[in-house]
Amino acid sequence: MDLAQLREACSKYTKPAGFKPSYGTAGFRAEASLLHSTVFRCGLLMAARALKTGAATGLVVTASHNPVADNGVKLVEPTGYMLDQSWEVWADKLAVAEDTDALCNVIRELYQQEDIPYGSGTVMLAYDTRPSAEELVKAAGSGVQALGGLPIVCGLLTTPQLHWMVRHCNNSLKHTESTYYEEFASGFCTLVKGCKAEPQALTVDCANGVGAEALKTLSERIGAQLSVTLRNTGEGGLNEACGADYVQKERQFPAGMDDRQHGARCASLDGDADRLVYFHGMPAGNLQLLDGDRIAVLAALLIRDTLQKLPSDLPSPSVGIVQTAYANGASTQYIREQLRLETVVTPTGVKHLHAAAEHFDIGIYFEANGHGTVLFKPELIQRLHELGDCHEAAKDLLALVDMINQAVGDALSGILLVEAALRRRGWGLTEWADLYTDLPSRQLKTLTRDSGRKTDFTALQIKVKDRSVVVTADAETRAVTPEGLQSRINDSVSAVPSGRAFVRPSGTEDVVRVYAEAATQQAADDLAAEVARHVYDLAAGIGAPP
């Protein structure tokens, strides 16, 4: 490490006064003009991580489903997974260092405590379609070079593509963008080969993001076996009234898709194409959402059907589904009672779900927001290869391995998963939706005291002076502090048929998020409002009380 070179590079990327970036559930995000120092320092971090692991790491400049004025950075382990949680503390220390001296001190501390060898580490870089992205990726490259590392700019990619490339690179496999499309397309075509059901037309909202061009290329590789029409491909604002997060949270049709006829098969990606939800129109202009919970159930059905065709003398692989507290209670009941599969509940954030899924031979995880994937243990993959071409079910499972991004949640991979599963069963969205009926729910971080209705979720934020006063346990389903909050929540829930509610501090702002379920939508709305009032009373709410 050349300290003089490091100091000179650090001095060019000073942190804005008063800016206190914090590593959230998936990296850093903020208004783009504030982030040059943060992204530079993430370049330093991932160069050091590459040296520590002796393998290539990755970094994607993206703010996912945030507005176009924001940006951020996601960090990739050599395995293709998200940054190891034990290193998040170093990300925070580097990001908040006030000046060059403080930053260099953190680097020295990092090298000493983590026993970083000197040398040159490789970091693969990518970025999405935001106007600020290319300038920020240069800052990341400067950070890599400041530690003597080699930045490889892979260009404009979806976040999951970069994760996939890092994983394949470190496994000595072909890891070009073209290979990504070839593997996914090949796996999909194998799974739908011989299906009696014809491909159904699918209209995809691409959120005006990087996924539009990627999905176009993938669909061209697949050809007639996948019938897609792309909307919101860049003609509008990134994530502006469109995208998976908008559809899932607002239960509204995305911009440019209100002409879809009743029953039309539709899907939405988010801005960096790592989230996916399906939906279709209902009578009176309503929208029926098929979210991450339902994608997990559909994946489990496909896997169960295929496993049942394996030779009976083979040991049965363990299969489990990982959810968060945000999973609708009806989905959990269906998985346990109808599919008879084990479910695990983890805190919010795919890094937690991914780790839990690794304990199964086949681990399925999806957050309700549509971010998730299916993991196959290497030992199971090896057993399937040993069956070779002798068994059709083994070939199908290996095709699934190729088609599903094993590194991270991938919306393009998710589309292929859903379409293959539906084709093999001869289903449309109606049959999929009819598997179970969601309990009405309300996710809340805003309230207003309005005339007439008891609750109207549009204006007043439930802000608190310090979100850290709310501490949770049991995968965020129980509030430990402030004292008395959980008992109030319990009292409110017990008075509501099919009631369930929990609160959790936001990972990015001083807001406490509320989730409630009940037998009716009005009851869920009212329960969310009542729990919000408890939070306001006991967690030092700011502004007018709800």
Q: What does the chain come to in residues?
A: 546
Q: Reply yes or no on whether 227 is catalytic.
A: no
240 to 78, 130, 363, 434: CA distances (angstroms): 33, 13, 33, 31
Tokens 């998040």 sit at which residue?
88
293 to 320, 435, 506: CA distances (angstroms): 13, 12, 21
Local structure of 530: helix, strand or coil: helix
HSE (side-chain half, CA atoms, 13 Å) at 140: 31
Separation of alpha carbons 358 and 348, rounded Å: 17
In 358-499, the DSSP E strands lie at: 362-366, 372-376, 441-444, 446-448, 456-461, 463-464, 471-473, 478-481
HSE (side-chain half, CA atoms, 13 Å) at 461: 9
Residues 6+ apart with CB under 8 A from 468: 505
Query: In b/e form, how buried is each residue of 223-251, taking b as 16+ CB within 10 angstroms?
Result: eebbbbebbbbeebebbbbbbbbbbbeee
Local structure of 211: helix, strand or coil: helix
**DSSP code at position 294:** H
User: Could you tell me which residues are beta bridge partners of residue 420?
Assistant: none
Query: Which of 11, 33, 37, 64 is an active site residue?
Result: 64
Amino acid sitting at position 295: I
H or E segment and range at residue 36 = helix 36-53
* Alpha helices per DSSP H over 193-254: 211-222, 244-250
Closest by Cα among 79, 82, 84, 276 to 165: 79
Residue pair 281/260 in contact by the 8 Å Cβ criterion: yes
Local structure of 141: helix, strand or coil: helix
Local structure of 51: helix, strand or coil: helix
Separation of alpha carbons 73 and 320, rounded Å: 31
Neighbours of 318 (CB within 10 A): 14
Separation of alpha carbons 103 and 55, rounded Å: 24
Separation of alpha carbons 183 and 12, rounded Å: 42
353 to 348, 363, 409: CA distances (angstroms): 8, 9, 11
DSSP, residue by residue, 371-397: -EEEEE-HHHHHHHHHHGGG-HHHHHH
Amino acid sitting at position 179: T
Tokens 């099919």 sit at which residue?
498
Which residues participate in catalysis according to the annotation? 64
